[in-house]
């Protein structure tokens, strides 16, 4: 080796190992220099801000009247012991921001609660009351019974 090499006296010495501390793995050493999120939760906030919601439709009077007739028919049928199958489209308000989304549900109607203005569906799996939907949030209701009677 060249004598003028500045580290010639220490180049062949063994690497120092601390007796008081455990040797750090290469993975842990590399982790010290990995990037970190300076603004924790920032990505989630951006994603939530960009998430779109729908506004609740204000139904025309003729549509409201037709829905009222359908609900009256359903109430009469359930009072007589029938369990008609109905598909309703209703508005679900968003829990985090203004607006919401429209969802559809199909099920057998157990009863119409005129006091609380809700439709209560059967939960056949547990033989109990199932989904409860507010009548005021419903924008459409479809059933084979409506075609025959309305």
- Whole-number mean pLDDT of the chain? 87
How many CB atoms lie under 10 A from the CB of residue 140? 15
Determine the pLDDT at residue 45. Answer: 87
Q: Is the distance from CB of 136 to CB of 105 less than 8 angstroms? A: no
Q: Which residues contact 2 (CB under 8 A, 6 or more apart)?
A: 8
H, E, C per residue of 33-51: CCCCCCCCCHHHHHHHHHC
**Predicted confidence (pLDDT) at residue 150 exceeds the cutoff of 70:** no
Q: Which of 17-21, 33-37, 109-113 holds the top average pLDDT?
A: 109-113
* Per-residue pLDDT tens over the stretch 29-72: 888 887 777 778 888 888 888 888 899 889 999 999 999 999 99
Q: What is the end-to-end Cα distance of the chain in Å, rounded?
A: 103
Which domains are delineated in the chain? 61-149 (2.30.30)
Confidence class of residue 105 from pLDDT cuts 50, 70 and 90?
very high
- Residue 126's CB is within 10 A of a number of other CB atoms, namely 8
Looking at residue 138, its pLDDT comes to 95
- The pTM assigned to this predicted structure is 0.66
> Residue 126's pLDDT is what?
65
Residue % of the chain over a pLDDT of 90: 43
> Tokens 């679900």 label which residue?
92
Average confidence (pLDDT) over 119-144:
86
> Which residues, at least 6 apart from 77, have a Cβ–Cβ distance to it below 8 Å?
84, 109, 145
Residue 21 gets which letter from DSSP? Answer: S
Higher-confidence residue of 82 and 2: namely 82
Provide the pLDDT for residue 137. Answer: 95
């Amino acid at each position: 080796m060249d004598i003028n090499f500045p580290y010639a006296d220490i180049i062949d010495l063994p690497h120092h190992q601390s007796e008081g501390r455990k040797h750090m793995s290469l993975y842990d050493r590399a982790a010290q220099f990995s990037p970190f999120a300076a603004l924790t939760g920032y990505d989630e906030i951006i994603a939530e801000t960009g998430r779109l919601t729908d506004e609740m439709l204000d139904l025309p009077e003729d549509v409201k009247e037709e829905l009222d007739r359908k609900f009256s028919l359903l109430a009469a049928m359930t009072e007589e012991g029938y369990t008609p199958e109905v598909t309703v489209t209703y508005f679900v308000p968003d829990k985090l921001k203004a607006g919401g989304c429209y969802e559809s549900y199909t099920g057998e109607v157990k009863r119409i609660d005129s006091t609380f203005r809700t439709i209560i569906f059967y939960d056949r799996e547990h033989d109990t009351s199932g989904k409860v939907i507010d009548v005021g949030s419903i924008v459409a209701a479809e059933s084979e019974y409506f075609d025959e009677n309305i």
